[in-house]
Amino acid sequence: DCDVLTELLADEIYTTKTMMFEELIRDADLTPRPGLVDLVMDAFAAGVWVGVVTNGARSWSEPLIRNLVGDGLVETVVNADDVKKPLPDREAHQNALWELGIPAENALAVTGSASGLRAATSAGLATVVITGDGTPDIPAAVAVRTDYSTGEPLCIADCQRLHGRWWAAHKRSAA
**Going along the chain, which residue ranges are E strands?**
51-53, 76-78, 108-111, 126-130, 143-145
32-174: CATH homologous superfamily? HAD superfamily/HAD-like (3.40.50.1000)
pLDDT given for residue 99 in this prediction: 97
Give CA–CA dist 68/31, Å, rounded. Answer: 6
The pLDDT of residue 66 is above 80: yes
Residue-wise pLDDT for 10-29, tens only, equals 888 888 888 888 788 777 78
The pLDDT of residue 93 is above 90: yes
Q: What are the residue boundaries of the structural domains of the chain, listed by start?
A: 1-30, 32-174
Entry pTM: 0.83
Residue-wise pLDDT for 118-168, tens only, equals 999 999 999 999 987 765 667 788 998 888 998 889 999 999 999 999 999
111 and 129 in contact (C-beta within 8 Å)?
A: yes
95 and 125 in contact (C-beta within 8 Å)?
A: no
> For residue 16, what are the β-bridge partners?
none
